[in-house]
Amino acid sequence: MRFSYRRSYEGPLQAVVLDWAGTTVDYGCCAPAAVFVEVFRRQGVEISTAEARAPMGTHKKVHIRELTQMPQVAARWQKTHGRPSSEEDVQAMFEEFVPLQCEAVSNYADLIPGTMETIEACRQRGLKIGSTTGYTSEMMEVVKREAKTHGYEPDCTVCADEVPAGRPEPWMCLENAKQLGVYPLKSVVKIGDTKPDVLEGLNAGMWTIAVAKTGNEMGLNEVEVADLPASDYERRLERARQCLAESGAHYVVDSIADVMTCLDDIGVRLARGEHP
């Protein structure tokens, strides 16, 4: 007679790991999109804001590389330069990107409405607050400094250049769990606004919540969202929700202000022995 045994964690949530731009700061994830457009413009290659947003959430050097590999962008590069882009081109643009982004992020560091209320609610529940980002450490020093002036300071921040590979690899989430001292990973929730955010959390074995309205998929700042005609607003928001749902997110909400009910539900599911 043979038996098998399976351990099942039925304890509470222990931590949330939050993205930055588009999730807690920079409503619409506007800072990086504008800088990507400018970096390519300086190379004589025009890219649209929609194109610039496509790989959002990844390490910014990877983001630039993926932009050069988009067929329509590659064709424009070939027409301008008479040759395909190279890894040297990617590196040169990344080196130009970093100081431009450091300058830009200070102007896009306002907290997204609901951030501090949600952080306080999480802390009242005893949850630790981690964070991951596609920004490098140099860029994040600016963002963290500005966010702190608004009262937001997570317990842990891991940047894309501090791990072997950024999103969608799980390493930033795993490093958060290590630094926060939390396990199992099913007791942690990853919250972000892009597909790579969701995949990062899933690959780490965490629950995932995606935010649609304030992030990259909607791609508009708070004023622009408020000015949309009702029909355009509903169409764009539904498209953002659908895109994030298709990436595998366990929950899709409009903003960080809406995540507490999801955390309640995850707590119930954990108590039943469920896992992500």
How do beta strands 251-253 and 207-211 pair?
Answer: parallel
Active site residue 19: yes
CB 219 within 8 A of CB 33: yes
Active site residue 190: no
Choose among 62, 230, 84: nearest CA to 160. Answer: 62
In angstroms, what CA-CA distances link 107 with 88, 98, 198, 258?
30, 15, 26, 25
Cβ within 8 Å of residue 224, ≥6 positions away: 28
The string of DSSP codes covering 101-150 is: HHHHHGGG-PBPTTHHHHHHHHHHTT-EEEEEESS-HHHHHHHHHHHHHT
Out of 26, 60, 61, 195, the active site residue is 60
Q: Which residues are catalytic?
A: 19, 60
